[in-house]
Amino acid sequence: MRRLFAVYAAASLVPVVLLGLVLMWVLNDRASSDGLAQGRDKADLIARVSVAPQLSDADLRAGLTDAERTALKRTVGQAIADQQVLRLRLRDLAGTIVYADDGTTGGADDESLEAARGRTVSKLTYLNADDEDSAPSAPDASDEPSRGPRVVEVYEPLAVDAHRVGVLEMYVPYAPIAAAQAAGQRVVAITLSAGLLVLWLCLLLVSASVTGRLRRQSSLNAYLATHDSLTGLANRPQFSQRAAAAAALAGPEAKAAIALVDLDRFKEINDTLGHTNGDQLLIELAGRLRASVGPQDSVARLGGDEFGLVLTGVRDAEEAIERLTRLRAVVAAPVSVDGLPLAVEASVGFALVPDDGVEVDQLLQRADLAMYAAKRQHCGVIAYELGQDTYDASTLTLVAELGAAIADDQLVLHYQPKGDVRRGRVTAVEALVRWQHPTRGLLPPDSFLPAAEQTELIEELTRWVLRTAASELPMLDPEQRLAVAVNISARSLIRDDFADDVLAVLAETDVDPTRVILELTETALLADPARAAATLTRLHDAGVRVSIDDFGAGQTSLGYLASLPISELKIDKAFVLSMLADARNAAIVHSVIELGHGLGASVTAEGVESVEALVELSRYGCDTVQGYLLSRPVTSLELRARLGAVSAVLLDNSGRITTPRPGRHAADRVRNPGRIVRHPAPGMPTSVES
Ligand code: C2E
Ligand code: MG
Ligand code: MG
């Protein structure tokens, strides 16, 4: 910037100096013409006042009378003595000298003939210039005495009583005129130079202020390009650079930990206390983290409520866990936000350099997996371990291919109907994704979803499924009687803007939110329960139904479950499939149905493969069934053609479906058909045969 300013200063000086020179040249030129005009005026005055009155109006070619010559000598002598004029000659109209103060004689020259024709001729020259011209010798410009002083040489037509009688040739001294002009010119030159200097200084001042502003702006830009504007911490690109630098320096003795810190209840805080308070909290936590790391370590905000840490000089994973646990405690210390003391928990995952890799992208991905595991397991700080991801070469290839597959529309949705047991008709369809792989054929979700779930690709996939299911719904169900169920992975649910994303897709595809069911597994809910609850409440309020998929397979706390706005519980198909053969599983199925109803939710049994299972489930009061009995998952076109047949399966069996009585237990029915049995085991529901 300083160099730029110096260059500008020098460059702006050039036109200013040039302007000064041009102005001075114009001034000088004006001064010369002024000097010439003054000399001419003076000569004119002498002609009219001193010479003309001494002459008669006779043509001078006739010569001067003695009286005229005497009178002329006197007045001209006086004018020369007064230095009004240095030399004076009177010529007749043919240009011949008839009188000269110095007695010179001579014939006409160009100027005198011009003046004889009535035009005044004047020029700035030297007194003896004409003599020099007529007798050229070795020129010597500095030979002032030979050229004589500077004069205004004037040839003026001389008129007496309006008769032109001859020509007056006069040499008016230029020195007094020049002296008077020089004084004025000096003032103008000084004023001009001062003005130009001030102008230049003003330009410099303006440029200094502009360069100053530019400098500030460019350093601000540089700062914003590398820092988070809210907390002042490094941003993601800067964090990647620092992580890369730390990775380059790390070795077996002094390792580096690349850690990701995600706040657990931040969304809830943001939603309940407002964004301003949320921002205050982030600023406070950022300050604490920055103050708690070493000078060689780095803290960055990676977006939302996620922070990144680079810890250097780490001996081993134990030490990293120790240091990160301390940092986690620093974050967890209560913060006063809007007068409320808040304690924010954080989940921290990290990868160690060089043990877990040296490539920043891979390290960040592994730290992310570890952080995600920490969230799932609620255990604070977790180190990346081989096996947290299922990355082998073929999985990596698959994930890379899947990205392109989504863009290339290689994914397809198959739909499986959900049938209402009592009404005997299909009420909803579940969208199940498949990958029409160009070489490997139709791939089931289990072969690519687990890998996708370990990367952000799953979010793109979820969006694709939701958008496709919503846009295929009108074709599948023109009467608008069916709802569509979409499976949501844990990673999508954790995102702060998930609810907004879903509602935006529904608005875009013009699908009523009440026709959409989101299926979430218990594991997904447990990854970040507070955030999940907030997201689901927002979706529920907009009309979207929430279903807990594979219920019974996870470990949801019933208290937490009761706090969620759940519309449906889906009994895990493992229980349903074995229900007829295994009394314990039948008991679980029955209990889950009652639990669901107790929570005000409807209950769906998945994995219903036989009429027996359907009849049994209806006896338990199960609301909806899904399974191969009704239909395998098929394309939307196939399902549309098959919907009537599916309803027929339901209706055909409706005669065998009976309304359950309270306390009836299926397991006993299987073991003791047609008998009323009181189940002896405590806590087990009592079964009554119809
Ligand atoms: P899910 O949501 O529990 O889906 C039910 C799975 O059970 C489906 O397997 C379905 O084909 C299968 N199934 C349905 N009826 C029966 C039956 O009568 N007997 C048996 N043995 N199985 C039955 P699928 O399509 O292979 O999907 C597996 C899982 O993949 C799904 O389980 C779901 O968790 C996941 N998934 C499928 N599509 C998506 C998706 O679009 N996004 C996400 N995040 N996950 C998906
Ligand atoms: Mg499902
Ligand atoms: Mg399921």
* Domain range annotation of the chain: 2-182, 236-388, 415-684
Ligand nearest to the backbone CA of 524: 1
The CA-based dihedral angle spanning residues 641, 645, 651, 653, taken in that order and rounded to the nearest 10 degrees? -150
Instruction: State the chain's mean pLDDT as an integer.
Output: 86
Nearest residue (CA) to ligand 1, atom 41 = 433
**How far out from the chain centre does Cα 357 lie?**
32
What's the topology of domain 415-684? TIM Barrel (3.20.20)
What is the whole-number distance in angstroms between the Cα of residue 388 and the centre of ligand 1?
23
Q: Are 20 and 192 in contact (CB under 8 A)?
A: yes
Asked whether the beta carbons of 200 and 12 are under 8 A apart, the reply is yes
pLDDT at 113 over 50: yes
Q: Which letter, b or e, does each residue of 75-106 get, where b requires 16 or more Cβ atoms within 10 Å of its Cβ?
A: bbeebbeeebbbbbbbbbbbbbbbbbbeeeee
**Per-residue model confidence as pLDDT tens digits over 140-193:** 445 555 788 999 999 999 888 888 889 999 999 998 888 888 888 888 888 888
Rounded CA gap, 486 and 461, in Å?
11
Distance between CA 531 and CA 330 in Å, rounded? 22
Q: How far away, in angstroms, is 551 Cα from ligand 2 center? A: 10
Q: How remote is the CA of residue 521 from the centroid of ligand 3, in Å? A: 8
The highest-level CATH class for domain 2-182 is: alpha beta
Q: What residue type is 352 in one-letter code?
A: L
pLDDT for 224 beyond 80: yes
Backbone angles phi, psi at 26, to 5 degrees: -60, -45
For ligand 3, the distance from its centroid to the CA atom of residue 617, given in whole angstroms, is 16
Task: Name the residue at shortest CA distance from atom 15 of ligand 1.
Answer: 627
Q: Where are the alpha helices (DSSP H) in 174-295?
A: 175-226, 236-249, 266-273, 275-292
HEC assignment per residue over 273-319: HCHHHHHHHHHHHHHHHHHHCCCCCEEEEEECCEEEEEEEEECCHHH
Which ligand 1 atom is at minimum distance from the Cα of 434? 38
pLDDT tens track for 28-55: 888 888 888 988 898 888 888 888 888 8
Q: Whose CA is nearest to atom 11 of ligand 1?
A: 633
Distance (Å, whole) CA 398 – CA 396: 5
Maximum alpha-carbon separation in the chain: 176
Counting from 1 in the atom list of ligand 1, the atom nearest the Cα of 628 is 18
pLDDT of 676 higher than 50: no
Ligand 1 nearest atom to the CA of residue 570, by list position: 3
- Distance (Å, rounded) from C-alpha 47 to C-alpha 164? 12
**Probe target for ligand 1 pocket from 432, 463, 629, with the most ligand atoms within 8 Å of CB:** 432
CATH 3.30.70.270 fits 236-388, yes or no: yes
Confidence bin at 239 (pLDDT 50/70/90): very high
Contact 175, 38 (CB under 8 A): no
Ligand 1 lining (C-beta closer than 6 Å): 416, 432-433, 444-446, 449, 465, 487-489, 519, 549-550, 573, 606-609, 626-628, 633
pLDDT at 390: 56
d(CA 362, CA 42): 99
Residue 508 Cα to ligand 3 middle (Å): 28
Could you tell me which residues come within 8 angstroms of residue 110 by beta carbon, excluding any fewer than 6 positions away?
A: none
Is omega for the bond preceding 354 within 30 degrees of 0, making it cis?
Answer: yes
DSSP letter (8 states) at residue 656:
G
Which of 690 and 335 is assigned the larger pLDDT? 335
How far, in Å, are 77, 163, 227, 483 from residue 52 at the CA level? Answer: 15, 11, 94, 125
**Residues 519-560 pLDDT 10s:** 999 888 887 788 889 999 999 999 999 999 999 887 778 888
Six-digit token pair at 571?
A: 């009994």
In terms of Cβ atoms closer than 10 Å to its own Cβ (0-12, 13-18, 19+), residue 311 is buried
**CA separation for the pair 502, 506 (Å, rounded):** 6
Residue 226 has pLDDT above 60, yes or no: yes
- Rounded to whole angstroms, how far apart are CA atoms 26 and 42? 24
Residue 551 pairs in a beta bridge with 571
Mean pLDDT, rounded, for 303-316: 94
The pLDDT score that the predictor gives to residue 523 is 82
Please report the pLDDT score of residue 655 as a whole number: 54
Residue 494 Cα distances to 145, 151, 502, 629, angstroms: 105, 100, 13, 35
Task: Note the ligand closest to the C-alpha atom of 419.
Answer: 1
Cut 0.85: pTM above it? no
* The pLDDT of residue 137 is above 70: no
